[in-house]
Amino acid sequence: MKKIINPWNKKEGYNCFGCCKSNESGVKMDFYEDGDEVVSFWKPQPQFQGWTNTLHGGIQAVLMDEICAWAVLRKLQTTGVTTNMQTRYMKSVNTNDSCLTLRASIQEVKRNIVIVEGRLYNEAGELCTKSVCTYFTFSKEKLRGEMQFLGCEVEEEDVNPLNC
């Protein structure tokens, strides 16, 4: 696996709840490329629980939306906005799990509409949550001009990120 370099890190005003490391309230996700998939490993924390020792469904939705967005960012070298998200909560996620695994892959591209499937697994490898996200992607002109986006690259070396 190769670590994906966050292209927004030095952008003024960047404070994403999903991936900004300096957002005190955020979930601070990292991302990796694994073949056709984008992967993230994330450690649940008590402040993100809903019911006792259970990861809040809204936080799960954030994680799913973010992993799917990064699949678009890395695989298609563009970004956009979520227009639809269908999420199925299949098994509760324990906030005492040491590490969750999230995976996303692009399912379909129709012009500027991208459909991505995301999956969240607990530390036992059981599928807990599944989402299908639809994104409206921005034009190359908007990306390069207004957003100053020049691409999303990976680090050169393979890494073993399984240390939540």
**pLDDT (tens digit, 9 = 90+) per residue, 59-80?**
999 999 999 999 999 999 999 9
What's the token pair of residue 33?
């490329």
Q: Write down the architecture of domain 2-158 according to CATH.
A: Roll (3.10)
What's the token pair of residue 30?
């990292």
Percent of the chain residues past pLDDT 70, beyond the cut: 98
Residue 36, number of CB atoms within 10 A of its CB = 10
On the question of pLDDT at 163 being above 80, the answer is: no
Domain spans, the chain: 2-158
Which amino acid would we find at residue 126? E
Average pLDDT over residues 6-10: 90
Residue bearing tokens 């008590």: 46
pLDDT at 145: 84
Distance CA 6, CA 20 (A): 9
Q: Which helix (H) or strand (E) holds 126?
A: none
**Backbone angles phi and psi of 144, in degrees to 5:** -75, -35
Distance of CA 91 to the CA centre of its chain: 20
Residues 6+ apart with CB under 8 A from 97: 43, 44, 122, 123
DSSP 112: T
Residues 6+ apart with CB under 8 A from 10: none
